Chains A and B, each alone.
Chain A
Amino acid sequence: MEDDGFFGFDTSLPSVRKGPKQEIGDVELEDTYDALNDETFGVINADDDWEEEHEKLAEYLGEIPRQEYAKTGVGYNEEDFEECAYPGPQPGHVRNKRVDKTDNVYFEADNEDAANVAASVSQILLDDDDIDTIISRPINYSRSMETKLFGQMSPQSSIFDTDIVGSPSTTSIWSTLPSDIRKSSEESPKAIPVIPNGNPIPSMGNHNLLHEGLFKTVEELERHLLHQPKRLTMEELERNLLSNRPLHTGSIRSVEEIEAELTRAQPPRQVGMMPPPPPPAHLQSYLRLPPPMAMSLPPPARPPMPHPVQIPLPVLGTRSNGQMPLPSQSSQWTRKPLEHLEQQSPPFSATPMSHSNEKRKTFAAENYDDYNGLMSTKEKQWLMSIQINQLISDNPYVEDYYFTVLRLRCLGKLHPSRDGKEGPKLIMPERAKTESRTYAPTQFANSLGKLQVVTYTAPRRIIDVSISHTSPEMNQDPQVAVKDMRKFKQILLDIEKMYVWLLDLEDSEMRVESLPKDAEPGPHHLATIEYQHKLQSFLAAGDRLQQVMLVRKGKILVLRAWHRFIPQFQELIVRTILLNCLILIRRDNLDHVLVRFLPLVNDVLAAIEDLQGVVSMAQLIDAAQKNSGYVSVTSTKMGLDFISLIMCRGTELVPKCLDGHTKSQWFAFARNVGNSLLAASTTLKSDLGLLNLEHFQQVGMEESKLSALKMVLDTLTNAGQEI
């Protein structure tokens, strides 16, 4: 077929033929001119329709929809996919396939020369091709063709946000032998448009492969090389910087400082202009700076990026992976939101801008500091991620309703929707569901008040000390339980209040002590009296004393304030203890504070001058036993200790007592004690070991009991001594 009009050679596609593989040399070409020969381009069938061939080629490139495949009869089988994925040279059995109009893919047989040439051509392309130029010219292939052409693709790099990863002429970004070039070359050897003489190829129907950037002429490559932007060397860069701003010292600065200079030196742009400015990005690519720096170091004018209304957050996430954003890349997704921001912010006038720019330069020049950049980029990034993490929300309408709605409204006003639909919608980025571990703050024992313990996930978590009521009643009515809890909490608060008074009281006492002896009673003296009175009256009110004694802190409070109480109040406390001794002893099991009351009880008992007082104390113990269902006080160690004290004192006072009634009451009490001691002889424990037979001898107990009691008491005393 004569078609040497424009190119001077036959540009028709090679024939697609059935039948056995053809020998090299069996070429049916025009006699006149043969720029194409078998060795270069393989067998050419003049009778073939070149349009059909072009259609097939287009299918390879994905221009024609899938359903057209049936017409052309080009199909792919499994091996094609394998072959697509295979990054190396074509295996022989694949190469020997041939394209058929109906079903299978045939390749021109024994066109190894053609294959070699194709390979060499692709080498030319790939060796000289600048990766940037490839990236900057994205080719929009249909996605359906992608997998066919390229099969298993390499992992998507976030750098290249084009449809096709890497060079469109390669199966993967690592392959050196493009399969489609192989295919197309073997299918239609004439169709390789790269002509060594550099003549441009005319468009073949709609598929101008040259214009699509798939193939390049040598001329184009040369042009590209010549017009390539001059790459700055480090020296040139430094020279530039030095000329802009003279250094005071000849100290070597870190790259971060240089970048900081650059960003500061940039004239503060109007809001709406795109960050980052090209030089730093360009600089980055050649200095191989860590990409996060572009993110962390804020440019002088910071156009606020919107909440993820238009820009999904995963973009941010990928950025934080340490990938360098391309300038063109960033422009794509910052341009849109920045448009409305330009409208939002008032336009800056040039004069103050240049003035402040000068000011910054002067500041930078005059205030150069060796301590600049103390915080590393990593640390900044870490801090930023913490802050971002706190902003990320699964439910912005719940967690930040007003801001979200306001933002949407503002954006809606700035961009009135053309088709009358609703305003901008909130895009919720799909984030991987992270295991949301509920933050469990560290527990602090014996802490006063609420503590604040923070982590980046829970920045203001306050430890709320939970109140545990140690003896909840079983099968309690919930309302009663709530009431009890409330009462308990109130008691705790009262204890706190009294503690404050106690501390103030102690404070005042200290001040009083520091005064000279002869000094007149001043305000501090009055304060001590006042606090004493407050404490006593507050404690004495109602059953507060009893409730306070049930709480460990309350007991400690009473102990601490004991010496400030008047003797009558001290006696009242002892009475309360004895009356509730069983409950108190039970509650004190864990606290072990009640034992510290023993000497105080002893002091109070010692202060009682007559037997009647002791008898009244003893009667309190009886009442306690009665209230607790006749549980013997002697069954507890503390109870036994209390009884020992009472017995000792009572025995001392018996001879002095003239009242027979009181004595009989006392003897009755003593007998009861003796009997209970005998009853529980095996389980008795006592630290004091005060009891002896003398206490029981005059009370009118039987001899047998007395002798038994003697043994018990001896055991008790010995046990006490051992302890």
Chain B
Amino acid sequence: MNVASLPGTATLLEDLDKKVIVVLRDGRTLIGYLRSVDQFANLVLHKTIERIHVGKEYGDIPRGVFIVRGENVALLGEIDLEKEERIPLTQVGVEDILEAQRLEQEEKQAKEKVRMKRLKELGLQSTVADYTHDDAF
């Protein structure tokens, strides 16, 4: 009997040895082959790459073998290899993407600063959660 076939359930066993994309709680994106799982949804990823997206560009950082603690996984999905070849994004080098990411981050912080200042001027205190802490989601 197959647990996967029980409606209303999900199991990671179907995704074993498949190329998966994992989005972590801190916002990182990992792509690798799922080799092993356990009851806590801890993952063993093989041939992992960390993909950083900035705008229409992305860069891959090879990471090797990853063991991800289950509670840190926000999202996991199988990659369609066909569609993967046809993504409309441009791949760039690691240094370039890291630089782009840094710039993007600075931009964001500057914007946030301006926003907070403006709110303060208006006498409002922002109740929005601080996204700079570890959980991006």
Contact = CB atoms under 8 A, between A and B. Distances in A.
A298 interface: yes
Interface in A283-321: 295-296, 298, 302-307, 315-316, 319-320
Interface in A442-473: 454, 456, 459
Given A295-B1, A305-B1, A359-B81, A384 B6 contact: no
Interface string B42-54: 0010100000000
Interface stretch (A385-393, A498-506, A514-522): A385-393
Interface in B3-57: 3-9, 11, 13-14, 16-17, 33, 35-40, 44, 46
B97 to A, nearest CB: 26
B35 A371 contact: yes
A526 interface: no
B81 A304 contact: no
A391 B5 CA distance: 13
Given A298-B14, A371-B33, A384-B3, A403 B81 contact: no
B36 A375 contact: yes
B121 interface: no
B78 to A, nearest CB: 12
Given A371-B46, A384-B11, A298 B17 contact: no
B111 to A, nearest CB: 21
Nearest to A360: B81
Contacts of B35: 371, 374-375
A383 B5 contact: no
Contacts of B16: 375, 380
Contacts of B6: 304-305, 307, 388, 391
Nearest to B16: A375
A369 interface: yes
Contact of B2 (A302, A367, A456): A302
A363 interface: yes
B72 to A, nearest CB: 14
B82 interface: yes
A295 B2 contact: yes
A552 interface: no
Contacts of A298: 2, 4-5, 13-14
Nearest to A325: B1
A407 interface: yes
Contacts of A628: none
Interface in A347-387: 359, 363, 367, 369, 371-375, 379-380, 383-384, 386-387
Contacts of A367: 81
Nearest to A299: B2
B13 A316 contact: no
Contacts of B8: 307, 403
A459 B71 CA distance: 12
Contacts of B14: 298, 302
A79 to B, nearest CB: 45
Nearest to B71: A452
Nearest to B1: A316
Contacts of A459: 39
Contacts of A305: 1-2, 5-6
A319 B82 CA distance: 37
A383 B37 contact: yes
A379 B42 CA distance: 14
Contacts of B40: 454
B5 A302 contact: yes
A456 B37 CA distance: 14
B13 A304 contact: no
A387 B9 contact: yes
Given A374-B35, A383-B39, A296 B13 contact: yes
Contacts of A388: 3, 6
Contacts of A407: 7
Contacts of A454: 39-40
Contacts of A319: 1
A387 B1 contact: no
A455 B3 CA distance: 19
B82 A359 contact: yes
Interface string A405-444: 0010000000000000000000000000000000000000
A692 B44 CA distance: 72
A387 B81 contact: no
Given A306-B7, A383-B39, A369 B13 contact: no
Given A369-B17, A375-B16, A459-B39, A302 B1 contact: no
Interface string A328-361: 0000000000000000000000000000000100
Nearest to B13: A380
A260 B44 CA distance: 20
B36 A374 contact: yes
A631 B3 CA distance: 70
A380 B17 CA distance: 13
Contacts of A374: 17, 35-36, 44, 46
A407 B2 CA distance: 18
A307 B133 CA distance: 42
A384 B13 contact: yes
A373 B40 CA distance: 20
Interface in B77-95: 81-82
A456 B40 CA distance: 9
A307 B1 CA distance: 12
A603 B118 CA distance: 49
A456 B38 CA distance: 11
26 contacts: A260-B17, A275-B2, A295-B1, A298-B4, A298-B5, A315-B1, A359-B81, A373-B17, A374-B36, A374-B44, A374-B46, A375-B16, A375-B36, A375-B37, A379-B36, A380-B16, A383-B13, A383-B37, A384-B11, A386-B39, A387-B3, A387-B9, A388-B3, A391-B3, A403-B8, A407-B7
Interface of A: 260, 275, 295-296, 298, 302-307, 315-316, 319-320, 359, 363, 367, 369, 371-375, 379-380, 383-384, 386-388, 391, 403, 407, 454, 456, 459
Interface of B: 1-9, 11, 13-14, 16-17, 33, 35-40, 44, 46, 81-82
Given A304-B5, A375-B37, A387-B11, 7 more contacts: A260-B17, A275-B2, A305-B2, A374-B35, A374-B36, A374-B44, A383-B39
Closest 5 CB pairs of A and B: A316-B1, A304-B5, A374-B35, A305-B5, A372-B17
